[in-house]
Amino acid sequence: MKKIYHLLLIVLFVSCASSTDNNLHVHVDAGDYDRFNSVISFQVPDTLQHGSYHLSDADGSGIPVQIEGTTAYFILPELRAGESITFQMVPSEDSDHNGISYQHLDDAVAFFTEGGNPVLHYRSGAEGADLGELDELFARGGYIHPVISPGGAVITDHYHPDRPHQNGIWSGWSRTEFDGRSPSFWTPASGAGLVEVHSVDNTWSGPVHGGVQATHHFIDKTGDTDVTILSENWTVRVHHVLEREEQPVYMFDLESEQQNITEHPFMIHEHVYGGISFRGNPSWLGEENTRLLTSEGKTRTDGEPIRDVWSHIDAHQSRAKWAYLSGVVDGEHPGIVILVHPENLAFPEPIFMNLREPFFAFSAAAMGDITIDPGESLRFRYRYVVLDHDPGAEFIENLWLDYAYPANVTLH
């Protein structure tokens, strides 16, 4: 039985020797890895006097900076392993520039690129959802769909008649135990549990990223009265990455922190799936229509099935740092890379891949029971990279290295 402890890992070392706007320099060291469209964050003094900044290099080129509190963010276009670069932090006049913008819809928060192209929707509710002949019990919010590729292909699905509880990118647990009962937060049709959006707490646009923060409640419905066991905080951050003709990408981060807000332990029993999961485009249905590649070289066709409709044995029982899923949509071959943060429980995480359906999950519970004690939290972080063509394992591995081991930043 595993206990969950909330750990703070410092990933960037920052030294601040100056707090004036005119002589603040940002030095970036690539370290051992190549950096392409690298998401950089660093701490800045709380004495900065302007609302908008950019980084200027020796050639005078400018890179937008986005500041939230005392944390600054920017996207580094390129820096080779072993190299470094120094920028001057310069106040900007254009404070309204949005690389990523958002729009509130009836049941979602939609995010768009600078050119107005859609990237994804965070579903804040189920108003207007087309359930077809499905029971209204399946209507829910608190998930991401659609996710759209740079070429305009939708790569997620929701409310599919075969698996109506699988919605885009969502979180849920199947086999759980609480106060002597067995709630379930996997399929709402069971009536044993419910995941609902409690509140949309923050939405923002920006030159570097836009995003949404929301609170979900995991509600136990097996007792005499409903009990909210977990309060889950979601942060979705959509990055404004530069377009590269050879491989344009969209990129966003998801952080989920689930806190036990009761006076009793909450147990997630060992099971092959659960956690943050992915449901692909319906055209990916069938044994031959979804491709899988993991960081360990596993594919969907490795080994023999564990169970007829579950997964191939080698891929299913393996653990991975990243996974790439793709399939044909309207004659094209878009896909999504899921990068696992090394702080996640059971890293590298066990994977689950359905044999005939585009359902995929990194599931820490496959390694054994998980207990979240009162007041404690379970935290997961993932980065998603959406593209229209197979990027190759080397490209994906570099993405993961950049995510797991950020570039070193110092201020002087």
Segment 342-383, tens digit of pLDDT: 999 999 999 888 877 899 999 999 899 999 999 999 999 999
Q: pTM for the full model? A: 0.91
- For 230, 347, 348, 361, 400, the CA distances from 316, given in Å and listed in that order, are 28, 15, 13, 10, 21
Choose the CATH number for 100-407 among 1.10.10, 2.40.50, 1.20.120, 2.70.98: 2.70.98
What is the predicted pLDDT for the residue at 97? 73
- For 26, 28, 42, 201, 408, the CA distances from 14, given in Å and listed in that order, are 10, 10, 7, 29, 8
Widest distance between CA atoms in the chain: 68
What is the predicted pLDDT for the residue at 211? 98
What is the predicted pLDDT for the residue at 52? 87
Which ranges of the chain have pLDDT less than 50?
A: 1-19, 305-306, 309-313
What is the predicted pLDDT for the residue at 189? 79
Dist CA 110 CA 159 (whole Å): 19
- For 3, 269, 355, 372, the CA distances from 265, given in Å and listed in that order, are 10, 12, 34, 6
Alpha-carbon dihedral sign for residues 146, 213, 396, 275: negative
What is the predicted pLDDT for the residue at 11? 35
What is the predicted pLDDT for the residue at 398? 96
Over its C-alpha atoms, the chain yields an Rg (Å, rounded) of 22
| CATH 2.70.98 residue spans of the chain | 100-407
What is the predicted pLDDT for the residue at 302? 66
Buried-state track 131-160, b at ≥16 Cβ within 10 A, e below 16: eeebeeebbbbbbbbbbbbbbebbbbbbbb
Neighbours of 19 (CB within 10 A): 14
What is the predicted pLDDT for the residue at 402? 98
